[in-house]
C-alpha cells in the first residue's frame, strides 16, 4: 500500500492550515474550522478576508464536513471525534438585526424579511412573524408563521442567501409595508406623494424605517424613481425595472382605487 496522499487544500482551514473537522461558512462564502474562526471573531469584527462577520452568522458546512470525513475514511486516516461545543450548552438569544441561520436559530423568535428576500408580500402587511424550526430537517431552511400572511419556509444560509432577520418586539411597527396595489410605478407616479418601503425592498434601514416623499422619476434610469426619506437621504429605487417595485404609496392616490 502506498503512502497516504496529501489532504486536498480545500479541506484545510485557512487559519490553522489543518484539516477541518467542523467547517462553517462565513457570509463571504469561505469555510473555516469553527473553533478557529470563532476565536478569530472574538478579537476581530470581520473575517480574515475583511468581510464583516459575527459568530452568530456562521453556518455549518455540512457538505464539506461529509467530504472531509469520506476522504479520511477512504485513506484510512480517521479524524478524532469532535468535542461537544460550548455553544451547544449555552442558551441562544436572538440578536436584533442579525440574519437567521442554522447556527443561531431561536424557535419562537420574532423575525422580518432579510437582505436576500425575494418573496413579494408573502409576509403580509405587518411584515413580521414567528420563527419555527428547520424545514424537513434542513438546517439552512427555516419555517415562519407570519402574523398576517402565509406559513412558509425560507433560506437561512442556503446558497449564501439569508431571507430573515431577527427583530425586537418594540420595533415591529417599523417593518409593516403596504399591499401590492399601492406600488409606485410609471403608470401611477404621483410626485410629492408619501411613500414607504414596498414589496421588493432590499435596502435594510436606508429609509430610517420611516416614510418619505416621492421626488420624481430618475433622470437617467427608466423605471426608477427618487425618494427623499424623512430620516435619511435622497435615494433612487426601482419602480418597475426588471419587474421590481421597491417603494409603495402610504395611502392610495386618488387615481388608484382601494381594494
pTM for the model stands at 0.49
Q: Which has the closest alpha carbon to 199: 237, 172, 168?
A: 237
**Cell 440574519 -> residue:** 99
String of DSSP letters for 132-172? EEEETTEEEEEEEEETTS-EEEEEBSGGG-B-EEE--GGGG
Beta bridge partners of 162: 156
Q: Which CATH superfamily is domain 180-249 in?
A: SH3 Domains (2.30.30.40)
User: What's the pLDDT at 181?
Assistant: 53
In the chain, where does the domain assigned CATH 3.30.40.10 lie?
9-88
- Residue-level length of the chain: 259
Strand order in the sheet with 247-249: 234-238, 224-229, 212-217, 194-197, 247-249
238 three-state secondary structure: strand
Cell numbers found for residue 38? 470563532
Q: What is the chain's percent helix, strand, coil content, to nearest 5?
A: 20, 25, 55
Question: Which numeric CATH code is attached to 110-175?
Answer: 2.30.30.40
215 three-state secondary structure: strand
- Per run of 10 residues, the mean pLDDT along the chain (length 259 residues) is 78 93 86 92 89 79 86 79 48 72 82 84 84 82 87 87 84 65 75 84 80 91 92 89 85 53
Q: Which has the closest alpha carbon to 95: 104, 87, 86?
A: 104
Q: Are 224 and 218 in contact (CB under 8 A)?
A: yes
- Dist. CA 241–CA 134, nearest whole Å: 34
User: What's the pLDDT at 91?
Assistant: 52
- Say which DSSP state 163 is in: -
Within the chain, residue ranges assigned H as helices are: 34-41, 62-74
222 three-state secondary structure: coil
Question: Which numeric CATH code is attached to 9-88?
Answer: 3.30.40.10
Q: For 214-224, how does the pLDDT look when each residue is reduced to its tens digit (9 = 90+)?
A: 999 999 998 99
**Cell 469555510 -> residue:** 31
User: What's the pLDDT at 88?
Assistant: 43
User: What's the pLDDT at 37?
Assistant: 93
In the chain, where does the domain assigned CATH 2.30.30.40 lie?
110-175, 180-249
Amino acid at each position: 500500500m502506498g503512502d497516504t496522499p496529501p489532504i486536498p487544500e480545500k479541506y484545510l482551514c485557512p487559519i490553522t492550515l489543518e484539516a477541518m473537522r467542523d467547517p462553517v461558512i462565513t457570509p463571504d462564502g469561505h469555510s473555516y474550522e469553527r473553533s478557529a474562526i470563532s476565536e478569530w471573531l472574538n478579537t476581530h469584527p470581520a473575517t480574515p478576508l475583511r468581510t464583516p462577520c459575527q459568530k452568530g452568522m456562521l453556518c455549518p458546512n455540512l457538505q464539506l464536513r461529509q467530504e472531509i470525513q469520506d476522504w479520511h475514511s477512504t485513506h484510512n486516516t480517521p479524524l478524532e471525534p469532535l468535542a461537544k461545543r460550548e455553544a451547544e450548552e449555552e442558551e441562544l438569544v436572538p440578536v436584533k438585526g442579525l440574519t437567521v441561520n442554522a447556527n443561531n436559530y431561536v424557535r419562537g423568535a420574532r423575525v422580518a424579511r432579510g437582505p436576500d428576500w425575494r418573496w413579494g408580500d408573502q409576509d403580509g402587511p405587518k411584515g413580521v412573524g414567528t420563527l419555527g424550526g428547520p424545514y424537513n430537517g434542513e438546517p439552512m431552511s427555516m419555517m415562519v408563521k407570519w402574523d398576517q400572511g402565509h406559513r412558509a419556509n425560507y433560506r437561512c444560509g442556503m446558497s449564501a442567501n439569508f431571507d430573515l432577520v431577527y427583530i425586537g418586539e418594540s420595533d415591529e411597527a417599523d417593518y409593516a409595508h403596504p399591499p401590492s396595489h399601492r406600488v409606485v410605478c410609471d403608470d401611477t407616479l404621483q410626485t410629492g406623494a408619501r411613500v414607504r418601503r414596498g414589496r421588493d425592498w432590499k435596502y435594510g434601514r436606508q429609509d430610517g424605517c420611516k416614510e418619505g416623499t416621492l421626488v420624481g422619476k430618475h433622470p437617467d434610469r427608466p423605471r426608477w424613481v427618487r425618494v427623499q426619506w424623512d430620516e435619511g437621504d435622497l435615494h433612487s429605487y426601482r419602480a418597475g425595472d426588471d419587474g421590481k417595485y421597491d417603494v409603495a404609496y402610504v395611502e392610495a392616490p386618488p387615481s388608484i382605487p382601494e381594494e
